[in-house]
Chains A and B, each alone.
Chain A
Amino acid sequence: MKVLLTLFLTGFTLTAQVTYERIAAAASEAGNWLTYSGGYAGYRYSALRRINRTNVARLRPAWIYQTNDLNNFEATPIVADGVMYISEPPSNAAALDLRTGRPIWMFRRPLPGPVGVCCGQVNRGVALLGDRVFLGTLDGHLLALDSRTGHLLWDRALADYQSGYSITVAPLALKDKVIVGVSGGEYGIRGFLDAYDVRSGERLWRFWTVPGPGEPGHDTWEGDSWKTGSAATWLTGSYDPALNLLYWGTGNPGPNYNGEGRSGDNLYSTSLLALDASTGKLKWYFQFTPHDTHDWDANHVPVLIDAVFQGKPRKLVAVANRNGFFYLFDRQTGEYLLGRQYAKQTWAKGLDGRGRPIVIPATEPAPEGTLVFPGVHGATNWNSPSYSPDTRLMYVAAREEGTVFYRATAEYKAGSYFSAGGMRGIPGVEPSGSIKALDPLTGEQRWEFPLHSPPWAGVLSTAGGLVFSGTNEGNIFALDAASGKALWDFQAGAPVYAGPMSYEFEGKQYLAVTAGRSLMAFTVAEQP
């Protein structure tokens, strides 16, 4: 009682200052979760260990918060100094009390009208810096909110939503700026990545992911096809503070399934970009799937690992790509170090010495259909991988699913769907999935935990020796990070479309993850 009374009287003031320095050193304050992936390195790893292999079987719901929107709830919560900050579909935000899940403030933004989005009216989270919360909106705006009240401080339109742009990404805040990308790869946008001043909201730089006339890479597009080249930037990237480099993935070239009018590699679609965070200048890039026609966006969270590779200490970046291959690069130079198939694929004989795929002929979409693995949603998708510095393994939510791809024609009309084809599943084949533990220094698989269907949930690993994720059928579960053995599962009753995260409050560790309309916080039940 005394403890409770003390806490009640102490309370929290909602005046937290989450500085850049705190986010850069996020690993040193494991009780919080200060940025989308938990830290700039993209690990989605919690150093908390109160929930561990010995007690995870007693994990129980502590509270549930529910949205009133039926779109997928794909946000990763941010937790700082006793408060949880979330985004909700379609373009809303809230601050929640960590003891109860009850809102402290709610920010509601009505959409101006119908907004074209390929894959649901979703939002994947907010960013926090100083006393501000940053939220991207489906109609293409970036907003700054007062973290104490939810009041709107500034509002910047990035692009015209009526021409197909939208924002679903959780922004990334660093130093004095907030980085935000755009969606719209199925609408023939010209992709870009932006940086905005956190105080004034002024745009500091823009990197066009499809080069314009006179810029390097422009000659990888046929005629005017660059104008509708897409290469959207719809998933949060990673950041190396020491190198001051951003690592950000780009999406499919447009139109998705017909490359006839856009011959060439179509830079910088389906690529990993390394950008100077101060200027937005391109330091290096790697294109995973040149001239993609299977919608294999490279919108993945890059994982930044420092390790000895082939006898030398290296600064590395690892990506398990939608195209079925795992890649490792030197993140200072962009040097390709290795690539290895990690899921079923039928489109490439392998990768050459520079990591370029050796494409098998006749695997492009065709009017009569072409069956290819991985399918349209890839061997993994946007759902975050996790890297544990304890096991030194990278955990990937993998999809085993083929697609019959069709090529058609499409005429570009601003704001209209522009995919030039379609797809269907394979008759008689039930798609499946797995959590795969990969050694990032070799790409070798250490273990695999099978899932009933191809997952959309991200993965969290913890210092408690656990890996958490979820399923389309509503399971939220924990695996032994070393062996892949299932240790706990809970039926939440609706699909899990987000990555789990973990935080500490009042001496207890919590697991938080969304399922259906619910955000659920779990903690270990006391022993009777």
Chain B
Amino acid sequence: MTAAENRQLVGYVRGLGRAKAAPSQGDRANGERLFWSKGNCGQCHTVGPRGGRLGPDLTAIGTSRGPDHLRESLLNPEADVPDTFTAYRRVIYMPDNFLQVRVITRDGRQITGIRVNEDTFTIQIRDSSDRVYSFRKDELHELHKDWGKSPMPGYRGVLSDSEIQDVIAYLLSLQGAP
């Protein structure tokens, strides 16, 4: 291909991962307030410079997810747990699938959290209080990987239907770093 054709192809492929800004019926401002207060979403998710690191960064979530997907994720977080493994991704320097793991150390400590990183001999884990642990696997009595599980609670019954609509409106407005 020519250089121009390459650029066109790259542009097309990049566009495949971007959702068009969807119209939202909720109250964006109220959604933002709920996100950082009642919903406690910011404990685990980052928006711009603010928030926690236990779950995916949502700074640009409005560019890649539509309202139906976001609703499903809020009501049933385990419906679509992130997964990024592809045949040609030869090396994974940092896993970004937020795998939930549970370990029991040889001295009996139990820790549940998100896998931050892992190699053949070690694993690094971040727990819900944002503490990072690093273990050699031969120090562990048990290591469980909870595939398909998510530490995120479902929001049915926590937020009302209209509040969920507002949070979705806020999320859809997140289009990347300002």
Q: Is the CB of A471 within 8 A of B119?
A: yes
In the assembled complex, the CB of B152 is this many whole angstroms from the nearest CB of chain A, namely 17
Within 8 Å of chain A (Cβ to Cβ): is B147? yes
A428 lies within 8 A of B147 (CB): yes
Per the bound structure, the CA–CA distance linking A229 and B147 in Å amounts to 42
- The yes or no answer to B92 lying at the interface (CB within 8 A) is yes
Query: Does B57 touch A at the CB level, under 8 Å?
Result: no
The answer to the question of B153 belonging to the interface, with a C-beta cut-off of 8 Å to chain A, is no
Using an 8 Å CB-CB cutoff, how does the interface string of A363-400 with B read, 1 for contact, 0 for none? 00000000000011100000000000000000000000
Q: Is the C-beta of B176 less than 8 angstroms from some C-beta in chain A?
A: no
Most B-side CB within 10 Å, residue of A429, A430, A471 = A430
| Chain A count of residues within 8 A CB distance of the other chain | 30
Q: What's the minimum C-beta distance from A300 to chain B, rounded to whole angstroms?
A: 19
12 example contacts (A-B, Cβ-Cβ < 8 A) are as follows: A401-B87, A425-B87, A425-B88, A427-B85, A428-B147, A428-B148, A453-B92, A472-B90, A473-B118, A473-B119, A486-B121, A495-B90
Q: Would A425 and B86 count as touching, CB distance under 8 A?
A: yes
Contact present for A423 and B147 (CB under 8 Å): no
* Contact mask for chain A residues 455-473; partner B; CB cutoff 8 A; 1 contact, 0 none: 0100000000000000111
The residue of chain B having its C-beta at the shortest distance from the C-beta of A449 within the complex is B120
The 8 closest A-B pairs by CB, nearest first: A473-B119, A425-B86, A425-B87, A452-B120, A403-B87, A425-B85, A472-B91, A489-B121
CA gap between A424 and B85 in the complex, in Å? 9
Which residue on chain A has the smallest CB distance to residue B99?
Answer: A430
The answer to whether B87 touches A451, judged by C-beta atoms less than 8 angstroms apart, is: no
Give the chain B neighbours of A489 by CB distance below 8 A: 120-121
Chain B residues near A404: list those with CB within 8 A: 87
B83 contacts partner chain A, Cβ-Cβ < 8 Å: yes
Per the bound structure, the CA–CA distance linking A424 and B118 in Å amounts to 23
Chain A residue nearest to B122 (CB atoms) is A491
In the bound complex, residues from chain B placing their C-beta under 8 Å from that of A495 are 90-91
A441 to B120 alpha-carbon distance, docked (Å): 30
Report whether A474 and B119 are in contact in the complex, using a CB–CB cutoff of 8 Å: yes
B89 partner residues in chain A, CB cutoff 8 A: 425
What are the residues of chain B within 8 A of A428 when measuring CB–CB?
81, 83, 147-148
A234 within 8 A of B: no
Q: Please list the residues of chain B having a beta carbon within 8 angstroms of any beta carbon in chain A.
A: 81, 83, 85-92, 118-122, 138, 147-148
Contacts beyond the supplied A430-B85, A472-B91: 17 A-B pairs with Cβ under 8 Å: A376-B87, A401-B87, A426-B85, A428-B81, A428-B83, A428-B148, A429-B85, A452-B119, A471-B120, A472-B90, A473-B119, A474-B119, A475-B121, A489-B121, A491-B119, A495-B90, A495-B91
Residue A431 interfacial (CB < 8 Å): yes
Interface of B is mostly: loop
Of all chain B residues, the one with the shortest Cβ separation from A401 is: B87
Residues of B within 8 A of A103 (CB): none
Out of A450, A452, A456, A491, name the residue touching B118 (CB < 8 Å). A452
Q: Are B121 and A424 in contact (CB under 8 A)?
A: no
Contact partners of B91 in chain A: CB under 8 A: 453, 472-473, 495
Report chain B residues within 8 Å CB of A452: 118-120
Task: Give the residues in chain B near A239, CB-CB below 8 Å.
Answer: none
Chain A CB within 10 A, most for which of B87, B122, B138: B87
Contacting residues, chain B, for A473 (C-beta < 8 A)? 91-92, 118-120
Say yes or no for A477: interface residue by CB 8 A criterion. yes
Could you say which residues of chain A place their CB within 8 Å of the CB of B88?
423-425
* Nearest CB on A from B163, distance (A): 31
Q: Is the CB of A377 within 8 A of B87?
A: yes
What residue of chain A has the Cβ atom nearest to residue B93's Cβ?
Answer: A473
Quote the shortest CB–CB distance from B101 to chain A (angstroms): 12
A431 touches B85 (CB 8 A): yes
**CB contact list, A400-457 vs B, under 8 A:** 401, 403-404, 423-431, 450-453, 456
How far does the Cβ of A69 sit from chain B's closest Cβ, in whole Å? 17
Task: Tell me the nearest residue of chain B to A472, going by C-beta.
Answer: B91
User: What distance in Å separates the Cβ of A430 from its nearest Cβ neighbour in chain B?
Assistant: 6
The CA of A499 and the CA of B118, in the complex, are separated in Å by 22
Q: A491: nearest residue on chain B (CB-CB)? A: B119
- Bound together, the chains give a CA A471 to CA B119 distance in angstroms of 8
In the complex the two chains form, what is the Cα distance from A295 to B51 in whole Å? 45
With a cutoff of 8 Å between Cβ atoms, the chain B residues found around residue A474 in the complex are: 119
Residues from chain B with Cβ under 8 Å of A375 in the complex: 87
Closest to B84 in A: A425
